[in-house]
Chain A
Amino acid sequence: DIQLTQSPSFLSASVGDRVTITCRASQGISSYLAWYQQIPGKAPKLLIYLASTLKSGVPSRFSGSGSGTEFTLTIASLQPEDFATYYCQQLYPYPFTFGPGTKVDI
């Protein structure tokens, strides 16, 4: 099975900061990667799929890039509602796996 690692596992930031989270896959997965945001007590929310496609309705300050084994999620200017935990997920092949998460805190 494909393993995902994320770095950092914890990130302390301020409103307005540019934030970058990295996800690495144990083998190449082309662009089959998604990013999710989870606020405590809530279900995850899809932000980006196929590595760089922004889901409709997601603010444009979120962007994704990468292919193969290294991917990044960037938040251009952190807003108060962005303090959450972010997960990457590989989408091919099965079984799909999630990264361990990156908590973005104030």
Chain B
Amino acid sequence: QVHLVESGGAVVQPGRSLRLSCSASGFTFSSYAMHWVRQAPGKGLEWLAVISYESSNKYYADSVKGRFTISRDNSKNTVYLQMNTLRVEDTAVYYCAKEGAPPASYSSGIDYWGQGTLVTVSS
């Protein structure tokens, strides 16, 4: 079955950087786009970024564009989120998630999610 495991969450000071990783298994990782979504404590879901199956296309939410970078290594079945210049408002649980649709198709939603990793930005 599909399994997504995030890691790298930590407590960091404002202005610092952090890289999250997500290890995937149970499906052909190199055939699907991957997303990052976050949820601040007690708040709703916020979509952050997506990377296409072969890394040629990346899209970001305006709130993180220029600060966060999504990448993937298909040889390691892993997707990453590099987060720079972190702000207090970036405090959230960060979810790695799998796109439901195959390449060259419109999205059919996020069909599998990891358990999330907590990032706390505080001085």
Contact, CB under 8 Å: A43 / B115: yes
Contact, CB under 8 Å: B47 / A89: yes
Which residues of A lie under 8 Å from residue B50 when comparing CB positions? Answer: 94, 96
Which residues of A lie under 8 Å from residue B100 when comparing CB positions? Answer: 46, 49, 55
The A/B interface has a contact count, at CB < 8 Å, of 70
- Total count of chain B residues near the partner, CB < 8 A: 23
Q: Which of B57-103 contact A (CB under 8 A)?
A: 59-62, 95, 100
- Give, as a whole number of angstroms, the nearest-CB distance from A1 to chain B: 7
Contact, CB under 8 Å: B109 / A34: yes
Which one of B62, B109, B111, B113 lies within 8 Å of A89 (CB-CB)?
B109
Binding site for A on B (CB under 8 A): 35, 37, 44-47, 50, 59-62, 95, 100, 106-111, 113-116
Known contacts A89-B110, A95-B47; can you find 13 more A-B pairs with CB under 8 A? A32-B106, A32-B107, A44-B37, A46-B111, A49-B100, A55-B111, A89-B47, A89-B109, A94-B50, A97-B47, A98-B46, A98-B47, A101-B45
> 18 A-B contacts, Cβ less than 8 Å apart?
A32-B106, A34-B110, A43-B114, A43-B116, A46-B111, A49-B100, A50-B108, A85-B44, A87-B45, A89-B45, A91-B108, A92-B106, A96-B35, A98-B37, A98-B45, A99-B44, A100-B44, A101-B45
